[in-house]
Amino acid sequence: MKTIITLNEALEKIKQLKSAYYFRRESEKVALPDSVGRELSEDIIADSMSPAFDIASMDGFAVRSADRYPLKISGKVYAGDSIARIKSGEAMAIATGAILPQGADTVLKIEDAEVKKDLLYGKKLKMWENVFRRGSDYSAGDRIFEKNHRILSQSAALLYSLGIENVPVYKKIKAGIISTGTEVYNGMIKNTSAVLIQGFLKELGHESEFIGAVPDDYDRTKKMLLEACQNFDVVFTTGGVSVGERDFVADIIAESGETVFHRVAIRPGKPCAVGIVNETPVFALPGKPTGAFTALEIMVRRYFTDMPRAMHKLTINEDVDLPEKGFVYIIFVKIANNTAIGYGREMKLFDREYNTALISASPRSCVVEGYLITDRDLEKGELVNVYLFY
């Protein structure tokens, strides 16, 4: 295996890992309001039709498309009224959402209508113009949602229209979190990365448990990791994945299971390892907080969701020089006046050359509106693609 892989190679390997492991969870039924953010564990098939009647999609007049004007206005029909009826030569005022009267086959928009006393004049219409046809939304037997669909608020609304009160979904992933490093174990530095991972999982609708911190000890780290891989759906570790004398985690994964990859050509976030131990995916993140966040956002997030971040083109407010070519750089930015402002530079963590070592160590540097991805130097005023958190 190569010692370092490209970002695209890493994303492809995570895609394969997800295909093999992500949807192995058991199913449960939850109340409709609690289903938002969860994934369907089975297809949803309609057992009814919507709409059940032909419905006016505009305010106007229900008419027969074959009739000639003028037409006699015979009454009014509103949403919620029972089904009315018109004869040839008649029209009926109709409100948006009302059931089309029997005998009518189109709706003349009110802005195209001219009324003189009780007679209607207007333009020639095609059959079913401005009509939401019966069964046009869905019919019995239609597959409305496929298995694995992530339920959004609009999905929940459609499930409600189908009469589904209890929704079949996969159980939430239960993730175990281990922090490595004597400095964390002794409380010399705050364990911000564990809190970061818990928040990341909560945003994605999953559950987590902080198992504990472990000092830089090979055997104790291995024991805690193996136990976690027996009790959780996925396991996260922080620290111990670089190439230092006390960086044990990648070696433990290789010895105890299978290494999917170790080290990726991105900065921050390079010392990241992904593996499988006891048929459990393990995401071993860098110890530095922004390095861990970058690995979560750019790579690990793809395991949990295929939903892309919204992207907006903005001009960058500064020159940025990359310290070393051959890497993809993640630059965190604030947004003001349609401009991307490199927050690390604003914090004076670097001047012109992007200092990933300092950025990685600063939790504050990624509390921003978005980020850009580049593998080349950037010039002030250049248009860049900014991926948005909000």
What tens digit of pLDDT does each residue of 8-44 get?
999 999 999 999 999 999 999 999 999 999 999 999 9
Q: CATH homologous superfamily of domain 7-25+171-304? A: MoaB/Mog-like domain (3.40.980.10)
CA-only gyration radius of the chain, Å: 30
How does the average pLDDT of the chain come out, rounded? 94
DSSP H helices in the chain: 7-21, 153-161, 182-185, 192-203, 218-231, 249-256, 289-295, 301-304, 343-346, 356-361
Residues of the chain with confidence (pLDDT) below 70: 1-2
Cβ–Cβ contacts within 10 Å for residue 388, how many?
14
Please answer whether residues 297 and 285 qualify as being in contact, where contact means their C-beta atoms are separated by less than 8 angstroms: no
As a whole-number percent, the residues of the chain with pLDDT over 90 amount to 86
Check residue 247 and give its pLDDT: 79
Check residue 2 and give its pLDDT: 54
Check residue 125 and give its pLDDT: 96
- Can you name the CATH fold of 311-388? Beta-clip (2.40.340)
Tokens of 173: 């992933």
3-state helix, strand, coil in the chain (%, to 5): 25, 35, 40
Q: Which residue, 366, 323, 379, is CA-closest to 192?
A: 366
- Please state which architecture CATH assigns to domain 55-132: Beta Complex (2.170)
SS3 state of residue 28:
strand
**pLDDT digits over 189-214, tens only?**
999 999 999 999 999 999 999 999 99
Check residue 1 and give its pLDDT: 45
Check residue 379 and give its pLDDT: 95
SS (H, E, C) 265-307: CEECCCCCEEEEECCEEEEEECCCHHHHHHHHHHHHHHHHCCC
CATH of domain 28-49+144-169: 3.90.105.10
> What distance in Å separates the CA atoms of residue 321 and residue 232, rounded to the nearest whole number?
42
CA–chain centroid gap for 233, Å, is 20
Domains of the chain by residue range? 7-25+171-304, 28-49+144-169, 55-132, 311-388
